[in-house]
Structure 1
Amino acid sequence: MAAAHAGHAHDHAHSHVHANSESDRRWLAGALVVIAVFMLAEVFVGIAAGSLALLSDAAHMLTDAASIALALWAIRLAARPAAGRMTFGWKRVEILSAQANGITLLLLSVWLAYEAIRRLIDPPEVTGGLVLGTALVGVVVNLLATWMISRANRTSLNVEGAYQHILTDLFAFIATAIAGVIIVLTGFVRADAIATLVVVVLMLRAGFGLVRASCRIFLEAAPDDLDPTEIGQAMAARDGVVEVHDLHIWEITSGSPALSAHVLVEAGRDCHAVREDLAHWLDHEHHIAHATLQVEHAHPELIALGTPPEPECAEIHGQSHSSPKAVRH
Structure 2
Amino acid sequence: MAESCSHDHSESSHSMGTRKLAITLSLVAIYFVAELIGGLWTGSLALLADAGHMFSDMAALTISLFAAWISTRKPTPQQTFGFHRAEILAAAVNGALLFVVAGGILHEAWDRLNSPIEILAGPMMWIAVGGLLINLISLKVLHGDHQHNLNLRGAWLHVMGDTLGSVGVIIAAFLVWKFGWNWADSVVSVLVCILILYSSWNLLKESIGILMENAPRDVDVFEVETYLKEIPSVQNIHCLHVWMIASGLKSLSAHVVVDADATEPFKLDVVRGHLHNSFGIDHVTLQVESSEDPVCSETGVGSCLVLGADHSQHPHSH
TM-score, normalising length: structure 1? 0.88
Greater Cα shift, 232-241 or 91-100:
232-241
Q: Which amino acid aligns with 1:128?
A: A
Q: How does 1:175-190 map to 2 (within 5 A)?
A: 175-190=168-183
1:321 equivalent in structure 2: none
Distance 1:271 1:72 in 2: 50
1:37 equivalent in structure 2: 30
1:168 equivalent in structure 2: 161
User: Residue 188 of structure 1 aligns to a residue in which SS?
Assistant: coil
Greater Cα shift, 70-79 or 144-153:
144-153
Post-superposition CA distance 1:224-268 (Å, at most 9, x none): 001111111111112311111110000011110100000011223
Match of 1:128 among 113, 121, 125: 121
- Contact kept, 8 Å, 1:271 with 1:297, in 2: the verdict is no
- Contact kept, 8 Å, 2:229 with 2:237, in 1: the verdict is yes
Match of 1:260 among 243, 253, 263: 253
- Contact kept, 8 Å, 2:237 with 2:256, in 1: the verdict is yes
2:310 equivalent in structure 1: none
- Contact kept, 8 Å, 1:24 with 1:152, in 2: the verdict is yes
1:61 equivalent in structure 2: 54
- Contact kept, 8 Å, 2:25 with 2:62, in 1: the verdict is yes
Post-superposition CA distance 1:131-150 (Å, at most 9, x none): 11111111111000111111
Q: Which amino acid aligns with 1:3?
A: A
Off by >4 Å, runs of 4+ in structure 1: none
Structure 1 residues 46 and 290: CA distance shift in structure 2, 3 A: same
Distance 1:271 1:51 in 2: 74
Distance 2:299 2:120 in 1: 73
User: How many Å apart are 1:286 and its aligned residue?
Assistant: 1.2
1:149 equivalent in structure 2: 142
2:101 equivalent in structure 1: 108
- Contact kept, 8 Å, 2:34 with 2:127, in 1: the verdict is no
Distance 1:146 1:41 in 2: 19
Post-superposition CA distance 1:256-298 (Å, at most 9, x none): 0100000011223489743332222111211211111000121
Q: Which amino acid aligns with 1:106?
A: F
2:311 equivalent in structure 1: none
TM-score, normalising length: structure 2? 0.90
Distance 2:174 2:35 in 1: 18
Q: How does 1:1-329 map to 2 (within 5 A)?
A: 2-7=1-6, 10=7, 13-14=8-9, 17-269=10-262, 273-299=266-292, 312-315=300-303
Post-superposition CA distance 1:35-84 (Å, at most 9, x none): 11111111111111011110110110111111111111101000001012
Greater Cα shift, 258-267 or 152-161:
152-161
Structure 1 residues 171 and 26: CA distance shift in structure 2, 3 A: same
Structure 1 residues 181 and 276: CA distance shift in structure 2, 3 A: same
Structure 1 residues 149 and 195: CA distance shift in structure 2, 3 A: same
Distance 1:61 1:247 in 2: 44
- Contact kept, 8 Å, 1:271 with 1:295, in 2: the verdict is no
Percent identical among aligned pairs is: 31
In structure 1, runs of 5+ residues without a counterpart are 301-308, 318-329
Structure 1 residues 69 and 121: CA distance shift in structure 2, 3 A: same
